[in-house]
């Protein structure tokens, strides 16, 4: 409650830009922020991202298409600069493209905000996509996750490969999958906090209140 | 590993939940948003809305229901009932659903599974199957079925797929249908046994095992839930990923939290929702 009040008080100074670049369902992220009382704007304009206090990059679909859309709009460069200045969160595909390279269909450059790459999940007889509720297992932890034994909702076929120092939490499937990565103020959620019930909303809320 | 899911299913007609849901503290028991919130509070892992609206005019209403629920409940939402085209998928997903369930139309037009999976991804294509054991089988006529039975020792039983709410037997073999749907890109199968549905004597474990043996996509057990132990049985006797319930939850005979606690005590992996949900008051 204390935190939500803070979000309300900070309304004027806490604008979250949700980047709308034509890649998938962004409305559930917007719904979640509205529900939490956080001021937000769906946008594909550079000035909105520059003026925002926080940035969320959602995304569903394929890595090369998402990068193509961000490059076409000239947003990729803006994100690269702005993500270093204010709290930034990539969700699902938005998390994957913050790495340096992706290998979905073809090799493709990402935003390079965190060193690492994105590869297909090993199948090992388990179903791909990895879809469902999985438990967050702690490695380094994160200041936006304050509880233990949290299950979050995943839907994806590719996963990040990066140095363990960037992995806040992973989950166990056919192999260990980075679930929340973090480098300074840059956060990447492989899961969907906006679809992970109350505990997912809490993570979003903690991010908004940074 | 993935948690086993407990999913309540709400039948919606003209924007109202039917089948007399009974919860204390909810004034309008037909209000889908209030019920969705209650199930979310109890720890439901997903919600299924099944649109049983008969009229064309009523069809748009389910989209409004989804839009409203998606503003207040932040777990995966699945919508089914009357879906027959890729445009139907698009409309439902745009309203805020995460998955779309198809049944009869997929039997009539299997290409719909592939078209939808190619455009929206397998994860949002849920194939509902209404199925029954073939009762007329003559034990002496096994030789006519070599083709199918040599593939596995799945079961001596044969199952056939029905459409139109279980009214029309398509004489389509369940196992063949599951294999085909898996190849076409279905993301999940919701298997409803006509034989156990409404009987409340437990899920159809043989049928579930027959299906789980031939596909690796998640299978949701439906039909037959009568008591809390049935959930334990379905997750220990079969590889089902989820259990679907309707009236038992709606009548308040069981809460989802009770089921989750029960399963957890028996070491079945499931998600316990946060005890205190305290965000929602920001706007009030």
Digit-coded pLDDT (tens) for B207-247: 999 999 999 999 999 999 999 999 999 999 999 999 999 88
**Does residue B48 come out as left (phi exceeding 0), alpha (psi in the -120 to 50 range) or beta?**
beta
Average pLDDT, chain A: 91
Nearest to A39, CA basis, from A82, A79, A4, A8 = A8
Alpha carbon distances (Å) from A55 to A68, A100, A146, B29: 19, 19, 21, 39
CA distance B182 to chain A (A): 11
Average pLDDT, chain B: 86
Which chain B residue lies closest to A125 (C-alpha atoms)?
B216
pLDDT reported for residue B52 = 83
Q: What's the mean pLDDT in A195-201? A: 95
Which chain B residue lies closest to A5 (C-alpha atoms)?
B282
pLDDT reported for residue A209 = 95
pLDDT reported for residue B30 = 80
Q: What is the pLDDT of residues B83-127, one digit of tens each?
A: 999 999 999 998 999 999 999 999 999 999 999 998 888 889 999
Q: What is the pLDDT of residues A85-123, one digit of tens each?
A: 999 999 999 999 999 999 988 999 999 999 999 999 998
Is pTM beyond 0.90? Reply is no
What ranges do the domains of chain B cover? 5-277
Please, what's the b/e burial string for B204-241 (b: 16 or more CB within 10 A of its CB; e: otherwise)?
bbbbbbbbbbebebbbbbbbbbbeeebbbebbeebebb
Q: Which range has the top average pLDDT, A168-177, B46-55, B89-98, B158-167?
A: A168-177
Confidence of residue B283 (pLDDT cuts 50, 70, 90): very low
Residue scoring higher pLDDT (B138 or A42): A42
Owner of token pair 């006519």: B144
Known active-site residue B87: no
Residue B203 half-sphere exposure toward CB, CA atoms < 13 A = 30
What percent of chain A has pLDDT above 70? 93
pLDDT reported for residue B206 = 96
Known active-site residue A147: no
Q: Is the pLDDT of residue B151 over 70?
A: no
CA distance B209 to chain A (A): 17
CB pairs under 8 A between A and B: 105
pLDDT reported for residue B56 = 65
- Angle between helical axes of B86-94 and B59-72 (0-180°, round to 10): 40
Q: Is the ipTM of this complex over 0.85?
A: yes
DSSP A140-173: S--TT---SS-EEEEEESEEEE--GGGEEEEEES
Q: Which sign does the torsion angle of CA B137, B143, B146, B152 carry?
A: positive
Known active-site residue B169: no
Domains with residue ranges and CATH for chain A: 2-101+112-208 (3.40.50.880)
What is the H or E stretch that residue B89 is in? helix B86-94
Instruction: Pick one of 3.20.20.70, 3.40.50.2000, 3.30.70.920, 3.40.50.1820 as the CATH number of B5-277.
Output: 3.20.20.70
Q: Which sign does the torsion angle of CA A83, A87, A93, A96 carry?
A: positive
pLDDT reported for residue B274 = 66
Q: What is the pLDDT of residues B169-217, one digit of tens each?
A: 999 999 999 999 999 999 999 999 999 988 889 999 999 999 999 999 9
Q: Are A187 and A207 in contact (CB under 8 A)?
A: yes
Paired sense of beta strands A16-19 and A40-43, if any: parallel
């Amino acid at each position: 409650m204390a935190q939500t009040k803070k979000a309300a008080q900070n309304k004027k100074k806490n604008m979250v830009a949700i980047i709308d670049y034509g890649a998938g369902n962004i409305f559930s992220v917007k719904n979640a922020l509205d529900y939490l009382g956080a001021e937000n704007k769906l946008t594909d304009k550079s000035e909105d991202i520059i003026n925002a206090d926080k940035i969320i990059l959602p995304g569903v679909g394929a890595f090369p298409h998402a990068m193509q859309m961000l490059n076409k709009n000239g947003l990729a460069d803006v994100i690269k600069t702005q993500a270093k200045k204010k709290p930034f969160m990539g969700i699902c595909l938005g998390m994957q493209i913050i790495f340096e390279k992706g290998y979905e269909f073809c090799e493709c450059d990402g935003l390079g905000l965190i060193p690492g790459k994105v590869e297909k999940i090993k199948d090992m007889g388990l179903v791909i996509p990895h879809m469902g509720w999985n438990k967050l297992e702690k490695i380094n932890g994160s200041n936006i996750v304050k509880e233990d034994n949290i299950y979050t909702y995943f839907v994806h076929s590719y996963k990040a490969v990066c140095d363990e120092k960037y992995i806040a939490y992973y989950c166990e499937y056919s192999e260990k999958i980075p679930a929340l990565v973090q480098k300074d103020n840059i956060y990447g959620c492989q899961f969907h906090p906006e679809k992970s019930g109350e505990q997912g909303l809490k993570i979003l809320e903690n991010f908004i209140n940074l | 590993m993935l948690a086993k899911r407990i999913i309540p299913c709400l039948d919606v007609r003209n924007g109202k939940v039917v089948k007399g849901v009974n919860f204390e503290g909810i004034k309008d028991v037909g209000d889908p948003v209030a019920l969705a919130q209650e199930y979310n509070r109890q720890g439901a892992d997903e919600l299924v809305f099944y649109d049983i609206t008969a009229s064309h005019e009523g069809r748009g209403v389910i989209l409004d229901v989804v839009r409203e629920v998606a503003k207040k409940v932040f777990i995966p939402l699945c919508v089914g009932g009357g879906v027959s085209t890729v445009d139907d998928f698009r409309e439902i997903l745009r309203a805020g659903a995460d998955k779309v369930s198809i049944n009869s139309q997929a039997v009539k037009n299997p290409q719909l599974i592939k078209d939808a999976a190619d455009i929206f991804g397998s994860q949002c294509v849920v194939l509902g199957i209404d199925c029954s054991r073939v009762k007329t089988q003559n034990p002496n006529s096994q030789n006519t079925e070599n083709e199918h039975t040599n593939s596995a020792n799945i079961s001596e039983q044969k199952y056939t797929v029905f459409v139109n709410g279980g009214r029309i037997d398509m004489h389509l073999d369940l196992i063949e249908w599951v294999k085909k749907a898996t190849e076409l890109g279905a993301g999940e199968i919701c298997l409803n046994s006509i034989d156990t549905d409404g009987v409340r004597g437990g899920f159809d474990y043989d049928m579930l095992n027959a299906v789980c043996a031939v596909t690796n996509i998640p299978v949701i057990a439906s039909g037959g839930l009568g008591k809390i132990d049935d959930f334990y049985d379905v997750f220990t006797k079969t590889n089902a990923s989820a259990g679907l319930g309707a009236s038992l939850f709606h009548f308040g005979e069981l809460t989802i939290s009770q089921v989750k606690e029960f399963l957890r005590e028996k070491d079945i992996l499931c998600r316990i929702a946060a005890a205190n949900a305290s965000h929602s008051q920001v706007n009030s």
